[in-house]
Amino acid sequence: MPDMSASASLAMTHLATLAQEVDEDKVTPGVLGFIVFAAMALAVWVLMKSMSKHMGKVDFKENPDEGASEEGTTTGASGKASPAKG
């Protein structure tokens, strides 16, 4: 290799020996992988709790609209009755 300094050459030799010591069949995600997974699991749990809280506030019962009681008409955004499509 042309013009490689002594420190770069020494670093490359240490990296090469570390790479030879790693068994490819036994590589695991390690502590960092666990921390990332735990943080994602905690975020999902917090989001689910928040969603459950917000869904509890929703009232699913519809109030009957007195103006649209006539069958075949619907009330638009302006409040005027228009023929139903369909």
Residue 85 pLDDT > 60: no
pTM of structure: 0.42
CB 49 within 8 A of CB 56: no
Condensed to tens digits (0 to 9), the pLDDT of residues 17-75 reads 555 676 777 878 889 999 999 999 999 999 999 999 999 988 878 777 766 555 555 55
Q: What is the pLDDT of residue 47?
A: 98
Length of the chain: 86
- 46 vs 78, more confident: 46
Q: Rounded to 5 degrees, what angle do the CA atoms 81, 64, 86 make?
A: 45
- 4 vs 51, more confident: 51
Measured CA to CA, the distance from residue 75 to residue 67 in angstroms comes to 8
Compute the Cα dihedral for 36, 40, 45, 47 and give only its sign.
Answer: positive
